[in-house]
Amino acid sequence: MTGFQTRRILVTLQFDLLILGSGPAGSAAAITAARAGLSVALVDKSAFPRDKLCGGGITGRSARYMTEIFGLQAERDLFLPSTRFRLTFEGRCIGEEPKAPVLQMTMRREFDAELHARAVAAGAQVFAPVRVTAIDPDAPSVTLADGRCLSGRVLIGADGANSAVARALYGRAFDPAEIGFGLEVELDRDLTDDNTTEIDLGAAQWGYGWVFPKNGSITLGVGGVHAKNPDMKAHFRKYLALHAAKLDPERVKCKGAYLPFGAYRKQPGRGSVLLVGDAAGLVDPITGEGIAWAMKSGQFAGEAAIDALHTGKPVMAAYMRRVRYIHTEMAAARRIRALIYSTPVRHYFPRAVERNPSMTRSYLKLLAGEIDYADLGHRVLWRIARRLGGSVLRRPA
């Protein structure tokens, strides 16, 4: 047992499925399993609604999964549709699409609360806000600060980038050399006059800056591989200055959070314990998109639990079979990332995008979930590799 503190257990409550964390991943696992009749405990350190630092960009893929898994449609005041898209490099426009596939912009406080409420309505029993004092991956069980012990036949770790379940299994949640880091601020809406979504590929190393319009505000941020950006705050101030010249960047208070930017776990869990979403490192290494994969992996883990409890077969095998699809995408994206962010290409890439509007469209189709990385790699990026003599392709990811 991994205990943060020992405490007397007063009562043990038994469930089919224990889920730690009720972000998009945990709520997706909960709704999937509860609808199939499993008894589900959904445990979170926070009561909902709660804040979560995030750009809140709901891609076409995310929108599809949220409808498929939660029955939630995008046509709600929870979302602001953005169909204008601008790709920039250090503030210079290198690609623009006035009629891009729609990106739905949302605030995670309200979005996550909606998903959580739908999981509860399906029958999941909530334990929140609670403090977890011990996790036993072998039982599996979790002990709460009030002395209750929750025991399950399967435990799902959906507790984000700094997952306590991953720490209980592996000693640490992520590899510091691989993890990403992002800084963000919500700004007044009057700084921008339209609903244009912007991605700036030059705002950070092995990452980017973003301006995402919202109902009532805009979210501005920068993020990328932490080890490649030792002074992310300097990148943030520079990018902020490009957009809000009237603001003193030194006085603007931003917030930071880690994101597992392509550092996915090849074996996400052990025995009867499965990791999903950020806890499993399922964030796109290029776009930083994590909400879609959190929901999808949560659904996969919920289905794997249903299968395993009905057949008596190992839950990990049932999960691995399903999650392989996401891993294939992550691995392909990592290879492409090594290509486009490597030093020889970094300065060539913006010019290539500028000259080939199809590259911006491909990026948007990728966000929309209309193509996958296999298509993108073959159709567009090999062209760059050929021009560079193929040398960067031989570098390891």
Ligand X SMILES: Cc1cc2nc3c(=O)[nH]c(=O)nc-3n(C[C@H](O)[C@H](O)[C@H](O)COP(=O)(O)OP(=O)(O)OC[C@H]3O[C@@H](n4cnc5c(N)ncnc54)[C@H](O)[C@@H]3O)c2cc1C
Site residues for ligand X per CB under 6 A: 20-26, 43-46, 52-57, 62, 132, 158-160, 164, 182, 184, 221, 223, 257, 259, 277-279, 283, 288-292, 294
Which is it for the CA torsion 354, 356, 357, 362, positive or negative? negative
Q: In the complex, what is the shortest distance from the CB of residue 380 to ligand X, in angstroms, rounded to a whole number?
A: 22
Please give the backbone phi and psi of residue 84, each rounded to the nearest 5 degrees, phi first.
Answer: -100, 135
Q: In the complex, what is the shortest distance from the CB of residue 145 to ligand X, in angstroms, rounded to a whole number?
A: 11
Q: In the complex, what is the shortest distance from the CB of residue 142 to ligand X, in angstroms, rounded to a whole number?
A: 8
Instruction: Output 7 or 354, the one with its CB closest to ligand X.
Output: 7
Q: In the complex, what is the shortest distance from the CB of residue 220 to ligand X, in angstroms, rounded to a whole number?
A: 11
Calculate the alpha carbon distances from 44 to 41, 165, 199, 385 in Å: 10, 13, 32, 46
Q: In the complex, what is the shortest distance from the CB of residue 107 to ligand X, in angstroms, rounded to a whole number?
A: 11
Instruction: Output 283 or 318, the one with its CB closest to ligand X.
Output: 283
Contact 32, 71 (CB under 8 A): no
Instruction: Output 103 or 320, the one with its CB closest to ligand X.
Output: 103
One-letter amino acid at 99 equals K
Q: In the complex, what is the shortest distance from the CB of residue 345 to ligand X, in angstroms, rounded to a whole number?
A: 24
Contact 17, 148 (CB under 8 A): no
Closest CA to 252 of 235, 230, 232, 237: 237
Closest CA to 191 of 209, 171, 213, 163: 213
Residue whose tokens read 């991605």: 199
Which is it for the CA torsion 321, 34, 22, 295, positive or negative? positive
Instruction: Output 18 or 291, the one with its CB closest to ligand X.
Output: 291
Instruction: Output 126 or 353, the one with its CB closest to ligand X.
Output: 126
Q: In the complex, what is the shortest distance from the CB of residue 242 to ligand X, in angstroms, rounded to a whole number?
A: 18
- CB-nearest residue to ligand X: 290
Instruction: Output 268 or 290, the one with its CB closest to ligand X.
Output: 290
Instruction: Output 29 or 359, the one with its CB closest to ligand X.
Output: 29
Instruction: Output 136 or 354, the one with its CB closest to ligand X.
Output: 136
Query: Hey, what are 383's tokens?
Result: 């062209």
Please give the backbone phi and psi of residue 172, each rounded to the nearest 5 degrees, phi first.
Answer: -150, 155
Contact 49, 32 (CB under 8 A): no
Q: In the complex, what is the shortest distance from the CB of residue 209 to ligand X, in angstroms, rounded to a whole number?
A: 11
Instruction: Output 115 or 385, the one with its CB closest to ligand X.
Output: 115
Q: In the complex, what is the shortest distance from the CB of residue 141 to ligand X, in angstroms, rounded to a whole number?
A: 14
Contact 69, 114 (CB under 8 A): no
Residue 112: helix, strand or coil by DSSP?
A: helix
Closest CA to 219 of 267, 182, 170: 182
Instruction: Output 159 or 303, the one with its CB closest to ligand X.
Output: 159
Query: Hey, what are 67's tokens?
Result: 């409808």
Contact 213, 55 (CB under 8 A): no
Please give the backbone phi and psi of residue 360, each rounded to the nearest 5 degrees, phi first.
Answer: -65, -40
Q: In the complex, what is the shortest distance from the CB of residue 156 to ligand X, in angstroms, rounded to a whole number?
A: 11
Q: At a CB cut-off of 8 Å and minimum separation 6, what does 392 contact?
A: 338, 339, 342, 344, 345, 385
Chain-centroid distance, C-alpha 98: 26
